[in-house]
Amino acid sequence: MFKLPRTDVDVIVVGAGISGLYAVYKLRAQGRSIAGFESAADVGGTWYHNRYPGARCDVESIDYSYSFDSELQQEWTWTERFATQEEILRYLEHVADRHDLRSAYSFETKVVSAVWDDTDSTWTVTTDTGVVKTARFVIFATGVLSTANRPDIAGAESFAGESYHTGEWPHDPVDFSGKRVGVIGTGSSGIQSIPVIAESAERVVVFQRTPNYSIPAGNRPLSEEFIAEVKADYDERRRLSRASGGGTPNSAYPKGALEVSAQERTRVYDEWWNRGGYLFAKAFPDQTISKEANDTAREYVEAKIRDMVNDPALADELIPTDHPIGTKRIVTDSGYFTTFNRDNVTLVNLRKTPIETIVPTGIDTSGEHFDLDVIVYATGFDAMTGTLSRIDIRGRAGRTLLDEWSAGPRTYLGLTANGFPNLFMTTGAGSPSVLANMVLGAEQHVDWISACIGYVDAHGGSAIEATEQSVDDWVAECNEKAAGTLFPTANSWYMGANIPGKPRVFMPYIGGFANYGAILDDVAAAGYKGFDIR
């Protein structure tokens, strides 16, 4: 009879962010032994690193939280509609304490390689601290926005002042008072941090390459009555979230933007604008499918930007023209556009005057020199595949994930890859997570993975691997779904377009959170259709 290999642990979990923590919880509850590795000094993942001023989640706090522990759900009380980074990190630390999750992890330990032995059906994982561990299964819960993009700007290392990347923010607070601060980048991180930095800095110079759509958050403290109402019916809220396209209990207007009168359209846009934030992208169901429908949303938001920015010429510079609204994630802000009415905030349009070099005293554009004490790089991430591509992952017959994905990520269900038995990934390429509520997405993935491991064991299997055909079909399905939308027309990080040389492929699955969940359920119910089990 075949005997399972003797390994150090059953499962290695890489990452102690939202999905890694839940993976440790869930697999332990199944009685499995776990070794967790985390490069940071503590839990939190994205929320450990992104401590920049103004950092908040753009999904409402009551939804951006675990549903697996109903007592936790009842006991924890969010204070604001959109939680700050600090509050989310406190929550994740609380979850880790509550379920003793830290004990599974080696912190400040980065996984550098994972190598599959096909004879023994074993993964060997090596870390930068020299720790080597074997396991039957590996779960890469390494995040999608976890490898900072540091652009290659001439002279950057010569800068004599302080410099920070928003995604690698220091733990000690940064004091901007009396300082001249340059912020490079106007994605979510730039747009969230600029208004806060401008409150204390002497001067803020915003270096904008591409303007972005951003909508005021409509953030507010949560009242006791509201919290009580949510808690009284949390299960129903979660049920609606799981049945939705985006993993929150929100849905688009029942008719398309082009099916209603101009008056009705404006009324709906007003309503969604007042709800605040990125949900505006989903006011009408056809907004990111039809260019004509999208134009109605774009025009509405352009008028709002013009209302908020006093100088009409400046408003022109701040209005995006390069992408349909919503095809890059709309930023959820707190006072971004009105910040440009302040005397101490200057916009530099890099399309007109690009950065030429960074010098010890500041930044030289083709038009002007800016004296700076601090440079903030709000330049984003090598998203979705960046972290995995920096780990030497070798599967069957020495196949490397880096080579396999050289033309873009190739997964089955976003969770597995052909050639890499017993390896799972969470919330990444080929899944809808970045387009949805990441926390429920993490639970969805981990629940499926743990059931899959249970199935393999129950059937006396040593390894499970997605077939090449199922990967081909899933990649085709993801491409086909994206091609039916306006998303591939934007130079977004979803497309890998923000990283020079990265293949341009729309990486997420855009068929919706609920549809994806139904596919996962079907695959499992059919005895893990599309997989070979040995």
Stretch that binds ligand NA7, among 88-96, 206-214, 281-289, 401-409 (CB under 6 A): 206-214
CB of 232 to ligand NA7, least distance (A): 31
Q: Which of residues 96-155 bind ligand NA7 (CB under 6 A)?
A: 145, 151, 153
Instruction: Out of 493, 509, 528, 531, point to the residue binding ligand NA7 (CB under 6 A).
Output: 493
Of 189, 248, 389, 462, the one binding ligand NA7 by CB under 6 A? 189
Please say whether the beta carbons of 464 and 452 come within 8 A: yes
Q: How far is the CB of 386 from ligand NA7 (least distance, A)?
A: 11
Q: By CB under 6 A, what part of segment 285-344 binds ligand NA7?
A: 329
Give, rounded to a whole angstrom, the gap between the first and last alpha carbons of the chain: 13
**For residues 35 and 104, is the Cβ–Cβ distance under 8 A?**
yes
By C-beta, is 153 or 315 nearer to ligand NA7? 153
Residue 176's Cβ-count burial label (10 Å; 0-12, 13-18, 19+) is buried
CB of 143 to ligand NA7, least distance (A): 11
Sheet strands (E) in 378-458 = 392-394, 423-425
Question: Tokens at residue 265, please?
Answer: 């359209």
Q: How many residues bind ligand NA7 (CB under 6 A)?
A: 21
* Rounded-to-10 torsion of CA 216, 218, 220, 225: -160
Q: Which of residues 337-366 bind ligand NA7 (CB under 6 A)?
A: 350
Regarding 83 and contact with ligand NA7 (CB under 6 A), the answer is no
Reduced to 3 states (helix: H, G, I; strand: E, B; else coil), residue 346 is strand
Q: Find the shortest distance in angstroms from Cβ 389 to ligand NA7.
A: 17
Ranges within 370-409 binding ligand NA7 (CB under 6 A): 378-380
For 43, half-sphere exposure in the C-beta direction (CA atoms, 13 angstrom radius) is: 28
508 lines the binding site for ligand NA7 (CB under 6 A): no
Task: Give the helix/strand (H/E) hosting 333.
Answer: strand 331-333
Indicate the length of the chain as a whole number: 534
Select the span of 13-21, 66-74, 203-211, 443-451 touching ligand NA7 (CB under 6 A): 203-211
| Residue 245 contacts residue 485 (beta carbons within 8 Å) | no
Among 102, 209, 304, 390, binds ligand NA7 (CB under 6 A): 209
Among 44, 45, 53, 185, binds ligand NA7 (CB under 6 A): 185
Residue 498 binding ligand NA7, by CB under 6 A = yes
Among 465, 472, 532, 476, smallest CA distance to 506 is for 476
Specify the 3-state DSSP secondary structure of 440: helix
- Please state the closest distance from residue 346 (CB atom) to ligand NA7, in A: 15
Angle between helices 234-242 and 224-232 (to 10 degrees): 70
- Minimum gap (Å) between residue 441 Cβ and ligand NA7: 13
**Of 61, 65, 188, 416, which one interacts with ligand NA7 (CB under 6 A)?**
188
Q: Please check whether residue 255 is in contact with residue 283, taking contact to mean a CB–CB distance below 8 angstroms.
A: no
- Residues whose CB is less than 8 angstroms from the CB of residue 3 and which lie 6 or more positions away in sequence, other chains included: none
Which C-beta is closer to ligand NA7: that of 217 or that of 453? 217
Beta bridge partners of 191: none
Q: Closest CB to ligand NA7 among 66 and 213?
A: 213
Residues contributing to the site for ligand NA7 (CB under 6 A): 145, 151, 153, 166, 184-190, 207, 209-210, 329, 350, 378-380, 493, 498
